[in-house]
Amino acid sequence: MENTEQPRSVASHRFDNAKRRRPDHHARQAMLTPPYVLEPVRELLGGIGLDPCTEPDNPTGAAMHYHLPMDGAALPWDAATIWCNPPYGETRGRWIARCIEAGAAGAKVVLLIPSHTDTRLFQQAMASSTSVLFVRARLRFGVLRDNGRQEAASHGSALIGFGVDLSPLAALGTVVRRAGS
């Protein structure tokens, strides 16, 4: 019998997106923003009017918030200031689109996403932004693993500002402002 299986490269397992992506309801999607990032953002915005994708206990202290099982990407974003640390799963594009829309409508929006600068989603967000802050070092999210250690990001992160200049947050990393903003 002839072997019809295609040869695989040594690293091919690393590029299997099915192994990297999780549904939005997956337990490891809850990545609470560390206070050393959240507090300066809250101060810059003058408070958080809406957090559309938080936990039921509202750890960001937003005036209005949505959490699972609510679909915050589909609900109204009627706030002047918005903080968004979306699920890093399959629907991230919906959240980025909503942040872009809210910023275009006049809201001050800060979005936290992986700084995968080569991806279509990152490029869309950056093209519509006022400024981008590339966070220095990897974030340590406020989620404890089974061994009691904090969950650390496996990648760099970026704050993307829509209608807001992130330059005052330069202590967190490198800020790039779009020309003309």
Give 33-65 pLDDT, tens digit per residue: 888 899 999 999 999 999 999 989 998 999 999
State which fold the 32-177 domain adopts.
Answer: Rossmann fold (3.40.50)
Please tell me the predicted confidence (pLDDT) of residue 20: 41
The residue to which tokens 């970026």 are assigned: 158
The three-point CA angle 19-24-29 to 5° equals 75
Please tell me the predicted confidence (pLDDT) of residue 108: 99
Choose between 151 and 21: higher pLDDT. Answer: 151
Please tell me the predicted confidence (pLDDT) of residue 29: 43
pLDDT at residue 4 above 60?
no
Choose between 180 and 4: higher pLDDT. Answer: 180
Q: Which helix (H) or strand (E) holds 94?
A: helix 92-104
pLDDT band with cut points at 50, 70 and 90 for residue 141? low
Please tell me the predicted confidence (pLDDT) of residue 88: 76
Please tell me the predicted confidence (pLDDT) of residue 139: 80
- Mean model confidence pLDDT for the chain: 83
pLDDT (mean) for 152-160: 80
CA distance 178 to 84: 20
Chain center to CA of 51: 12
Q: Name the nearest CA neighbour of 56 among 46, 65, 48.
A: 65
